[in-house]
């Protein structure tokens, strides 16, 4: 299985990025045209998060989101094998990038927080060019993917650490050296590692790890995503700094600040968010399921 996965990665990596994205767009279009779970969940999530929009808007954004999700799938092996020079050449002038440079200049390290928006694989690889970087990493469910993914995501110099005590220790050490730590803020945390906080007006189980780690040394936090440009032209960062509420000792307040920052970025480019993820699968006691 691992050999087949590596072969598929190699074939996708050989395609020109524009062709690679066209292939991914085709896969996403099929996911929209067929009665897939991704299509069903995307429409549910958009109706929940944007009740003020009509059904036509929900369908248009869901279709675009699935097409972008297809590009995410096929572009990942291309990016993993591109190398730092080619990765950096794809970066176009963005908005708010100075926030990260300013955060690192303070010498307390910085969190680079990128949701499932745009190309999070690109941002995870390219951000390592800003300085030494450690990324919190949740191993894939398919064991055969573990080694290829780990090798690929460390290709530009970032260190991957697991979501356990050892990983937390390594993150703290990296911050003490003034380095960058990468995190995904919109995954449902496991066990009791989160609290319910509003996300587009809906209660969502939200991580508390980021606020806890950031509050310890008042570490700067920058939320960012790499917008995928059309026709394989490259990527453009959009970055915003965290608000003071993220450092609040009340985990509910801090988690709400995390979700609000993610919302701000999603509203800039809702078509490139992964709406097919079951963000509201875990519900508060007594509330009906959404899916």
User: Does 101 reside within a domain?
Assistant: yes
User: Does 114 reside within a domain?
Assistant: yes
Domain count, the chain: 1
User: Does 231 reside within a domain?
Assistant: yes
Place of tokens 């927080």: 113
Q: Which residues pair with 239 in a beta bridge?
A: 224
Averaged pLDDT for residues 71-75? 95
| Cα–Cα distance measured from residue 260 to residue 192, given in angstroms and rounded to the nearest whole number | 21
What pLDDT does 49 receive?
Answer: 98
User: Does 282 reside within a domain?
Assistant: no
User: Does 104 reside within a domain?
Assistant: yes
Q: Residues 260-286: pLDDT tens digits?
A: 999 999 999 999 999 999 999 999 988
Q: Residues 205-231: pLDDT tens digits?
A: 999 999 999 998 899 999 999 999 999
| Cα–Cα distance measured from residue 262 to residue 137, given in angstroms and rounded to the nearest whole number | 19
Q: Exposure pattern of 82-101 as b/e (b: 16+ CB <10 Å)?
A: beeeebeebbeeeeebebbe
What pLDDT does 104 receive?
Answer: 84
User: Does 224 reside within a domain?
Assistant: yes
User: Does 79 reside within a domain?
Assistant: yes
Rg (CA), the chain: 18
User: Does 277 reside within a domain?
Assistant: no
Which domain does 211 fall in, by range? 2-272
């Amino acid at each position: 299985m691992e050999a087949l996965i590596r072969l598929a990665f190699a074939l996708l990596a050989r395609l020109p990025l524009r062709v690679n994205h066209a292939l991914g767009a085709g896969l996403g279009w099929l996911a929209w045209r067929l009665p897939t779970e991704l299509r069903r969940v995307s429409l549910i999530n958009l109706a929940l998060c944007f009740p003020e929009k009509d059904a036509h808007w929900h369908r248009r954004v869901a279709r675009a989101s699935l097409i972008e999700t297809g590009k995410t799938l096929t572009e990942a092996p291309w990016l993993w094998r591109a190398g730092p020079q080619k990765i950096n050449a794809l970066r176009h002038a963005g908005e708010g990038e100075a926030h990260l440079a300013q955060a690192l200049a303070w010498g307390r390290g910085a969190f680079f927080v990128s949701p499932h928006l745009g190309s999070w694989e690109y941002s995870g690889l390219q951000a390592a060019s800003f300085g030494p970087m450690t990324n919190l990493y949740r191993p894939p469910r398919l064991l055969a993917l573990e080694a290829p993914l780990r090798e690929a995501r460390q290709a530009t110099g970032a260190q991957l650490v697991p979501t356990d005590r050892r990983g937390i220790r390594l993150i703290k050490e990296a911050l003490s050296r003034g380095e960058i730590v990468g995190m995904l803020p919109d995954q449902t945390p496991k066990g009791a590692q989160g609290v319910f906080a509003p996300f587009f007006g809906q209660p969502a189980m939200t991580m508390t790890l980021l606020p806890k780690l950031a509050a310890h040394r008042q570490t700067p936090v920058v939320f960012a995503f790499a917008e995928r440009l059309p026709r394989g032209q490259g990527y453009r960062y959009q970055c915003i700094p965290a608000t003071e509420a993220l450092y609040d000792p009340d985990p509910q307040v801090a988690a709400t600040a995390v979700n609000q920052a993610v919302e701000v970025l999603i509203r800039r480019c809702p078509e490139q968010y992964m709406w097919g993820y079951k963000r509201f699968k875990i519900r508060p006691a007594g509330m009906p399921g959404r899916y």
